[in-house]
Chains A and B, each alone.
Chain A
Amino acid sequence: MPSEQLAPTRPGSPMGQSIPRREDARLLTGHGHYTADVNRPGQLYAVMVRSPHAHAHIRSIRTDAARAVAGVAAIYTGTDVAGRIAPIPTAWIPPGSDLAITDHPALADTTVRYVGDGVAMVVAESLDSAREARALIDVDYEPLGAVTSVADAMREGAPRVHEGVSQNVALHWRAGSDPSAVDHAMKTAEVVVRQAIVQQRLVPNPMEPRAAVAEFDAAAEALTLWVTSQNPHIHRLLVAGVLGLAEHRVRVIAQDVGGGFGSKIACYPDEVLVAFAARDLGRPVKWVEERREHFVATTHGRDHVDEVELAGRRDGTFTALRVRTRANLGAYLSTAGPGVPTILFGLITNGPYDIPLAATEVYGLYTHTTPVDAYRGAGRPEATFLIERLVDLFAREIGMDPVAVRSKNLVTEDRFPYTNAFGITYDSGRYHASLDRALEHLDLGAFRSEQAAAARHGRLLGLGVSTYVEMCGLGPSEVAGAVGFQGGLWEHALVRVLPTGKVMVMTGISPHGQGEETTFAQVVADRLGCALDDIEVMHGDTQLVSMGWGTYGSRSTAVGGGALSVALDRVVDKARKIAAHVLEADVEDLAFREGRFAVHGVPDRSVAFTDVALKAHLAWSLPEGVEPGLEAEASYNPSNFTYPFGTHMAVVEVDPDTGDINVQRYLAVDDCGPRINPLIVEGQVRGGIVQGIGQALWEGGAYDAQGQLLTGSLMDYALPKARWLPPIETDFTETPAPHNPLGVKGVGETGTIAATPTIVNAVMDALAPMGIHHLDMPLTPERVWRAIQDARTTAPAATGGMRS
């Protein structure tokens, strides 16, 4: 399908070109401006005292010895800030979920609820003094029983995380088809596969820890806050609200941010406390998270226990899906926490398959653990993992190849726009074309022969497939409101053309690695016909950018780019009027190409865009009703989400003697519509895939029964390393989003969404001859080895938990 929306408007346009990034020169030479690089004259240093207990009463806090340390400026406890800092709010209240909203104090006053919960903040002249004082603070805790898993949270007599929240149920949410209809379909189906699935907790671990620097101008009552944020305007709104500051006197700056993956969306107690102290003490205050703090004090991701059932016919047709999930929300409701396992998960559990009846039911549970919020994909990886595992189990049950079962149930091209059983409408898709493209790269028949040959020598080869779709490009603001998100999801752009024809772009998205300083410049250069070097894309400062909702949910190019496109249209429209005036021609008679307005059929009657820009600013002679200057802004509110899709395949070999998994091949065919910069898109896909492989094979946040995080450092939590990974083959199909001005769909999360089930399906394919059909992640060698040992000691007919 041609991508008409993105066809370059002129030869030599940068649109669609793999242009190296414009942000790289500063980042490669050590000249980035990360929050920890900010130093203000006279600044103080803050450190946090965090609870070592998952659940305890605070009997007393003795700070006298700490206060005596030279250089200590202040020590704040929960009692000190109570009433002066409002509770940290959640920003997502899913309707119909009976969300049990509980107070989240910036510092615990009477009770700590997870290891890492803030108890006190020390502010001192130097980091050494602050740390020395921290060590001398004596908190007398009365430890209480803790509950860490969703399996335990609802049990009779389980410790309660919050008074008044029965069975620790924070929310109960349902979506989809009539449950009795689904139930009937399950009971009458030819085939039903059922599986209990654990999707383990993950720790986001962007390489830059969180940080905040705050400065308060008492005379102006104005706060400047540098903070590691994916959404500075959301931070402005929340920090102003929590501290009782006027929003227009709060400036939030997040210039260079070292990765987020969802963990820098939330408003945390830490940046609020730092801002509070700066105001209270009249001095700038700086706080930089330590990695060990990141593990306990920055939001985690995933952590589901799911019970899933897929019904269908022996010919491979799916008829009904039922998903019952218990999601761990941690000790407090984080900014987007309640929305992740409900809206972002439960509405798309059918994936790319046409399943007439589908229902999702979710219990979101409080536990004595670090709050859970968005992590790359946020809900959609969990949904995709479930359905992709089920499809393989179903295929095995009826003896069909998983590829054939997928092909039979994928939504066909003629069904778009396609509304699923949860009522969301997929914008466009060519799922079979994607699957076919992947099969062009990987010869399925040849692989099955190779697999069978290897099996004869005792070698375990497996092929994993995931055909995925996801819902991103968040999103229509009306939908945001309808699903309880306490904000808008539109985006803003301002395009300002200066007298010299140079262009400034201010965007409300807040990229932190995604490369929009480059891709947005490519869009501008294409549309206005100017050179990339004549364009500057600015973001990450609420003083510079009038409004925006930030970078997450693969929304930056889809939504922010939409705003940019509309603003550019307005700039060109105005310039066209001025050009017509200059050329003494009708507006309708002008063509705009390669940076020049020319009268149709009379190419020498033309004027350059840069000349028009100068005339617009000089304003010596403008057409009637046209204001001086040449700039335009646009607020773009998308009419739908975007639904990128694709097919991923992996080939693995499992060592039957050690359980070690070798990923031999990884192939990704993705469709995010037209690609403005293929180099950057490929980078997003590859990086995302590796995070998804990380969940499948290595990563996992584990708590002991007392609520201690056992995987609390980079020595215990395995982030993917270069030498563990295969090369990743990429290819793309191109199906535009019909509702988006640029035709583009989000691509920041697709790799992570697709890769986890692809890898697990491959390992399960390899282990199938041993009768092992499902294992929970991460698939460490030990876990695989134990499963192989168990399989060898039980009857060959063992089904590894699958029942039909």
Chain B
Amino acid sequence: MMDPSNNHHAVTLTVNGQTRTESLPPNLLLSEYLRDHLRLTGTHVGCDTSQCGACTVLVDGAAVKSCTVLVVQLPGTTIETVEGLGRPDQLHPVQEAFREAHALQCGFCTPGVLMTAVALLNGDPHPTDAEIRRGLDGIICRCTGYENIVAAVTRAGNGMAAAQEVG
């Protein structure tokens, strides 16, 4: 619904488990909303052509580049960012696997890689190396050379599958 006084639109969406109704300008990107409005600065912006994938978040479970979608396109959706994944003292299995496998160096692309990995593993907890590498096509990491990321995703998938069996 649009507010004619300022051209803003009312949008209701859920971010990291919290449902919000906001009045937002129509040209506001999801990345800007997360970083500037909610101060969720874990989502990074690395380029302006949707190539780098550092800004990747989950929209209804799917990996989406938040620099490429307007918030007003997302009414009723559920957004998950890296901040919703785990805490420093209680890492998500994917985060823990990245730590153990040294799958990050400068850490700038990492939030987007993590969210991409979560989406990938939710679809298939046991991807092959080739499937993981293909699955990482939407992100660019300049530091690691990717190999440790591939190892971390494999490790995380095994961990998540084991946890589900136990659970």
Contact = CB atoms under 8 A, between A and B. Distances in A.
Interface in B134-154: 134, 136-137, 139-150
Most A CB within 10 A of own CB, among B39, B48, B100, B143 = B143
B83 interface: yes
Interface string B34-70: 0100011111111111011010000000000000000
Contact of B105 (A26, A36, A515): A515
Contacts of A684: 105
Interface string B77-103: 000011101111101000100111010
Contacts of A513: 105-107, 143
A25 interface: yes
Contacts of A36: 41, 44-45
B41 A290 contact: no
Given A28-B104, A207-B54, A258-B108, A728 B88 contact: no
A424 interface: no
Contacts of B100: 20
A28 B114 contact: yes
B126 interface: no
A238 interface: no
B9 interface: no
Contacts of A261: 142
Contacts of A719: 140, 142
B99 A24 contact: yes
A28 B104 CA distance: 8
A604 to B, nearest CB: 39
A720 B48 CA distance: 18
A707 B125 CA distance: 49
A25 B87 CA distance: 8
Nearest to B32: A127
Contact of A27 (B49, B52, B85, B107): B107
B134 A723 contact: yes
Contact of B146 (A34, A209, A690, A751): A690
B111 interface: yes
Contacts of A257: 106
Contacts of B143: 207, 259, 513, 683, 687
A29 B91 contact: yes
A20 B109 contact: no
Contacts of B35: 37
A25 B110 CA distance: 11
B49 A291 contact: yes
Given A25-B88, A723-B133, A291 B52 contact: yes
Contacts of A27: 104, 107, 110
B46 A209 contact: yes
A513 B133 CA distance: 22
A25 B89 CA distance: 8
Interface residues of A, number: 56
B140 A714 contact: yes
Interface in A689-724: 689-691, 713-715, 719-723
A104 B60 CA distance: 50
B88 A206 contact: no
A37 B110 CA distance: 15
Contacts of A689: 145
B163 interface: no
A164 interface: no
Given A258-B44, A679-B102, A687-B105, A722 B49 contact: no
B1 interface: no
Contact of B49 (A205, A679, A715): A715
B134 A206 contact: no
Interface string A241-261: 000000000000000111101
A679 B48 CA distance: 33
Contacts of A728: 145, 147
B166 interface: no
B104 A207 contact: no
A298 to B, nearest CB: 13
Nearest to B25: A128
A287 to B, nearest CB: 14
Contacts of A24: 98-99, 104, 107
A305 interface: no
B99 A25 contact: yes
A23 interface: yes
A512 interface: yes
Nearest to A725: B146
B48 A290 contact: yes
A686 interface: yes
Interface centre among A20, A27, A39, A257 (most CB of B within 10 A): A27
Nearest to A678: B102
A437 interface: no
B117 to A, nearest CB: 11
Interface residues of B, number: 57
A568 B148 CA distance: 33
Contacts of B51: 713-715
Interface in A287-313: 290-292
A514 interface: yes
B102 A21 contact: yes
A722 B143 CA distance: 12
Contacts of A258: 44, 46, 106-109
B106 A259 contact: yes
Contacts of A23: 107
A691 B99 CA distance: 22
Given A23-B107, A683-B148, A206 B42 contact: no
Contacts of B145: 686-691, 720, 725, 728, 751
A30 interface: yes
Contacts of A515: 105
B115 to A, nearest CB: 10
Given A683-B148, A722-B137, A30 B48 contact: no
B86 to A, nearest CB: 6
B107 A722 contact: no
A32 interface: yes
Contacts of B108: 32, 34, 206-208, 258-259
A715 B105 CA distance: 24
A30 B129 CA distance: 26
A683 B98 contact: no
Contacts of A37: 35, 41
Interface in A494-549: 512-515
Among the interface residues A26, A30, A512, A727, which one has the most CB atoms of the partner chain B within 10 A? Answer: A30
Interface in A150-208: 205-208
Contacts of B48: 290-292, 713
A558 interface: no
Nearest to B149: A722
Nearest to B105: A513
Contact of B107 (A32, A291, A679): A32
A27 to B, nearest CB: 3
B56 to A, nearest CB: 12
A251 to B, nearest CB: 21
Contacts of B137: 721-723
A100 interface: no
A67 to B, nearest CB: 23
Contact of A259 (B105, B132, B148): B105
Interface centre among B40, B47, B142 (most CB of A within 10 A): B142
A20 B91 contact: no
19 contacts: A21-B102, A25-B88, A25-B91, A29-B82, A29-B87, A30-B82, A34-B44, A207-B140, A207-B142, A259-B106, A291-B52, A513-B105, A690-B144, A690-B146, A715-B51, A719-B140, A722-B136, A725-B146, A751-B145
Given A513-B143, A686-B144, A723-B134, 9 more contacts: A28-B86, A28-B88, A28-B91, A291-B47, A687-B142, A720-B145, A721-B146, A722-B133, A723-B137
Interface of B: 35, 39-49, 51-52, 54, 81-83, 85-89, 91, 95, 98-100, 102, 104-111, 114, 129-130, 132-134, 136-137, 139-150
Question: 4 closest A-B pairs (Cβ-Cβ)?
Answer: A30-B42, A258-B108, A27-B107, A690-B145
